[in-house]
Amino acid sequence: MSLISIDTCRLDGKVAVVTGGGSGIGEATAKVFADAGAMVIVTGRRLAPLQRVAAEIGGHAIACDVSDQAQVRAMFKEALKFGRKIDILLNNAGGPGPIAPVADVDMSAWVECMNINLVGAMYCLQEAAKIMSAQNSGSIINMSSLMGIQGYPMRSAYVASKFALIGITETMARELGPVNVRVNALMPGAVSGENMDRILQRRSEQEGRSAEQIERENYTDVAALKRWVAPEEVGRAALYYASDLSSAITGDKMKVDCGRF
């Protein structure tokens, strides 16, 4: 008798909320979850890309700025109307934050990054914790980063927010374990896409190096696999945490970084 069935990695009958679901990792993961059988609700600040993704996967779109607690509460309330439960939260919404040395960083931009990446994540975690505790089941996946376990020059706000998410993940895993809710974190390395292209351009302007040089020296050449991570590769790692493949795993953190150790 096989110890692993096809059902173990399926999400049939599950309802998943994906924040930051209109592009990048969020979009890719929404598609992975939908392919695995989940009904997926994608959320984010811009409705048009959310509607496009939702149409492609047969899901639902809800506009929500996670830095606004009232909007987060309204989003979860609306999400419950679609499936009367929430089995999975991919807590993914966030931004790169200011790119500058600590001595020179624009503190208003620094605080704005924390309000989205950390405070916004906490607003979502509060609502998911209430819903999943009442259900006595659920899987929460926090999107941290490789920069959630190691500091990185010019990225203090982003680093601080992602370090904090690792601690919150471990805290919530202990809090919610007794009610059968698992909480884990993903730590992607450099993921290809428009967000990374913008970061390369901003670093190039700050550092006086070409984007191509920064890409090679800081991202691809330093990875064991000598390449970028693709968004769908992060999505497949999220599927592991969302599904019963990881049924005994909580408080964990997984690198998805093409071997940048």
CA distance linking residue 112 with residue 97, whole number of Å:
8
CA distance linking residue 81 with residue 74, whole number of Å:
11
253 is catalytic: no
Residues contacting residue 74 through CB under 8 Å, at least 6 positions apart: 64
CA distance linking residue 140 with residue 192, whole number of Å:
24
Indicate which residue of 144, 161, 243, 246 is catalytic.
144
| Residue 235 near residue 166, CB atoms below 8 Å | no
DSSP code, position 229: B
Burial of 32 (0-12, 13-18, 19+ CB in 10 A): buried
Burial of 172 (0-12, 13-18, 19+ CB in 10 A): buried
81 is catalytic: no
137 is catalytic: no
Angstrom distances, CA of residue 149 to CA of 156, 163, 174: 13, 6, 20
Indicate which residue of 158, 161, 219, 241 is catalytic.
158
Angstrom distances, CA of residue 11 to CA of 71, 119, 171, 199: 27, 29, 26, 34
For residues 126, 122, 77, 24, the Cα torsion angle rounded to the nearest 10 degrees is -140
Closest Cα to residue 21, out of 74, 63, 58? 63
Indicate which residue of 14, 31, 162, 255 is catalytic.
162
Helix (H) or strand (E) holding 43: strand 39-44
Residues acting as catalytic residues: 144, 158, 162
